[in-house]
Amino acid sequence: GAVVSQHPSWVICKSGTSVKIECRSLDFQATTMFWYRQFPKQSLMLMATSNEGSKATYEQGVEKDKFLINHASLTLSTLTVTSAHPEDSSFYICSARTRQDRYNEQFFGPGTRLTVL
């Protein structure tokens, strides 16, 4: 149980284009999903918290107009990197919380590696 998928697993795009990454909870309903960014040999940095049916909460320093998050259903959240630039190249990982009373138990997707040329 508690399986989270991401699509695509990797993507290469040209500078200035937009890229959408999907995060799905396959065998449970996730009222809350999280988006992280990870640079090589560094830890996970939380970008935003996404609650189903409401606007995402972004961490300080994360541009909400650049990283658009939509959590349209209890099993799907999307992250769209708009007007991507080479500095946006990174490993993006989503996670989902299975239960409201276990705030800290997050299950992670396999990640999406984005390369912007």
Partner 1 sequence: QKEVEQDPGPLSVPEGAIVSLNCTYSNSAFQYFMWYRQYSRKGPELLMYTYSSGNKEDGRFTAQVDKSSKYISLFIRDSQPSDSATYLCAMSAGSSASKIIFGSGTRLSIRP
Determine if 104 is a binding residue for partner 1 (CB under 8 A): yes
- Residue 43 or 54: which CB sits closer to partner 1? 43
The residue among 33, 108, 107, 110 whose CA lies nearest residue 75 is: 33
- Residue 82 or 108: which CB sits closer to partner 1? 108
Determine if 6 is a binding residue for partner 1 (CB under 8 A): yes
Determine if 42 is a binding residue for partner 1 (CB under 8 A): yes
Q: Least distance from C-beta 59 to partner 1, angstroms?
A: 8
d(CA 101, CA 10): 33
Question: How many residues sit in the footprint of partner 1 (CB under 8 A)?
Answer: 21
Instruction: Mark the segment that binds partner 1 (CB under 8 A) among 11-19, 62-70, 81-89, 95-103.
Output: 95-103
Phi, psi of 31 (to 5 degrees): -75, -25
Determine if 76 is a binding residue for partner 1 (CB under 8 A): no
Q: Cβ–Cβ contacts within 10 Å for residue 25, how many?
A: 25
Determine if 105 is a binding residue for partner 1 (CB under 8 A): yes
- What are the C-alpha distances in Å from 47 to residues 23, 44, 59, 101? 14, 9, 5, 22
d(CA 62, CA 114): 17
Where does this chain bind partner 1 (CB under 8 A)?
A: 4, 6, 41-44, 46, 91, 93, 95, 100, 103-111, 113
